[in-house]
Amino acid sequence: MERKVFIRSLIFSVAAPSLLISACTNTEMAKTDIVQTYTCPMHPQVMQTSQGKCPVCGMDLVAFDRANAEKFLTLNENQQLLANITTVVIGTGSLNSSSYLNGHLAVNPDRTNFVSSRLSGRIETLYVKETGIQVKKGQPIYKLYSEQLLSLQQDYLLMEAQAEKLSGDKRFRELANASRQKLLLYGQTTGQVNRLKKDGVTPYVTYLAPSSGFVSELMVVEGQYVDEGAALMRLEDYSQLWVEADVYPSEADSIKIGSNLKVIVAGWENEPLDMLVQFIAPAMATSGQVLQLRGTVENLNNWQPGLQAKVLLPYNSETEELTLPVDAIIRDGKTEHVWIESKQNVFEPRKVITGRESPDKVEIKEGLKSGDKVVVTGAYLLYSEFILKKGEHPVFI
């Protein structure tokens, strides 16, 4: 019996150090399993086990605790003051405001003039030789050489001479007046016709600008022969401009032809203009599911066609909705969420579904209830802090 006890004691004394060494080794290995992880504040999908630069944006990687499974943040009062975090208790109310329709300024075709040749002939002198030049009504724009004009002038002087010689015969006076009217119809002014008796006939006639505007297109050059009716140039008057905006079918019901809307031109946000709706397209554009709205505004600041403009579409809600300031909504590209103070100094993200939106407010359809305490300023700082600590965007199930 004593021999058996001795053998057992000997075996235990030999095995005990081995067991102790093994236990210590397992403890050390468990400690070494906890490795510090680093991530990018802007790209949480980037994770490394050492400090460095983000391969996407180049920012310094920051440490975060991968084992932290908490889905909320705790900030004391001083931290909230530094982050400028303020909250508001959400409640119901009517969303009486306006939405923006994206649009632009366009040329008003009613203020566009095409200058065409009244006669066939050669462009002897072109007084306007490039686009973008501003011309005034009555300003010489080109001189034409025309043998047809020469023949008409000779006919007129002959008819005038016969009418003066045979003043008692009304038929010759009527023929002279008809010949004079033909010259006027071919683009000569009254003064040019009156000077024919003194100066005599000439194959050259100078044509004047029919209206004021800018030369937007020039189709001829000096020395070019043109036919009767050929287009020479286009003049555009920018004193009035069209406003064209895209309207979704759901919004078109609140707009009628004759409605008065406000227009804001980019760069002149403090100078809204009044616009009378003159046209609403009866069919949607082929490039998208939108209708086109059009109105006219006065060009008070020498605006150029093509400038961006916004049309304010007012709407009044007859029902009560949950509304929040627009800045309280965090949009990360996949979901929309807000931050609520669930307990004192405890903030957590909450997924929401939004509805209509005005320049300063947004309707909350799902995700919140009346009485929730929602962060309205500093929400993006909470969102960034969450990514830094958790290494990922908020996950909503």
Q: What is the pLDDT of residue 4?
A: 53
Mean pLDDT, the chain, integer? 80
Q: Which helix H or strand E contains 161, and what residues bound it? A: helix 147-165
Instruction: Find the mean pLDDT for residues 29-50.
Output: 65
Spatial neighbors of 58 by CB under 8 A, at least 6 apart, are none
Fold of 73-96+319-390: 2.40.420
For the beta sheet containing 353-357, the strands, ordered from the edge strand earlier in sequence to the opposite edge, are 92-93, 321-325, 361-366, 353-357
CATH superfamily of domain region 98-109+238-315? Efflux pump adaptor protein, beta barrel domain (2.40.30.170)
Instruction: Find the mean pLDDT for residues 61-67.
Output: 64
Above 50 in pLDDT, residue 212? yes
C-beta separation of 60 from 346 below 8 A: no
Other CB atoms within a 10 A radius of the CB of residue 176 amount to 20
Strands (E), 108-183: 112-116, 121-126, 134-135, 140-145
Segment 151-173, tens digit of pLDDT: 888 888 888 888 888 877 788 88
Segment 304-322, tens digit of pLDDT: 899 999 888 776 555 567 8
Most confident of 136-145, 282-291, 362-371: 136-145
DSSP 183-198: HHHTT--HHHHHTHHH
Above 60 in pLDDT, residue 33? no
Above 60 in pLDDT, residue 6? no
Domain 113-236 has CATH 2.40.50.100: yes
Q: Which helix H or strand E contains 180, and what residues bound it? A: helix 170-185
CA neighbor of 156 nearest in space, from 126, 130, 177, 171: 177
Do 113-236 and 98-109+238-315 have the same topology in CATH? Answer: no
CA neighbor of 276 nearest in space, from 301, 256, 302, 299: 256
CA distance 373 to 342: 7
Most confident of 119-133, 158-172, 351-365, 383-397: 119-133
Q: What is the pLDDT of residue 243?
A: 93
Residue 15: pLDDT band with limits 50, 70, 90: very low
> Counting beta carbons within 10 angstroms of the beta carbon of residue 122, is it exposed (0 to 12), middle (13 to 18) or buried (19 or more)?
middle
Segment 225-243, tens digit of pLDDT: 999 889 999 999 998 999 9
Q: What is the pLDDT of residue 164?
A: 80
Spatial neighbors of 366 by CB under 8 A, at least 6 apart, are 352, 353
Q: What is the pLDDT of residue 183?
A: 83
Most confident of 10-14, 361-365, 389-393: 361-365
Q: What is the pLDDT of residue 35?
A: 67
> Counting beta carbons within 10 angstroms of the beta carbon of residue 211, is it exposed (0 to 12), middle (13 to 18) or buried (19 or more)?
middle
Q: What is the pLDDT of residue 302?
A: 87
Q: Where are the domains of the chain?
A: 73-96+319-390, 98-109+238-315, 113-236
Spatial neighbors of 193 by CB under 8 A, at least 6 apart, are 156, 180, 183, 184
Above 50 in pLDDT, residue 91? yes
DSSP bridge partners of 343: 346
What percent of the chain has pLDDT above 90?
A: 15
Q: What is the pLDDT of residue 9?
A: 55
Q: What is the pLDDT of residue 258?
A: 87
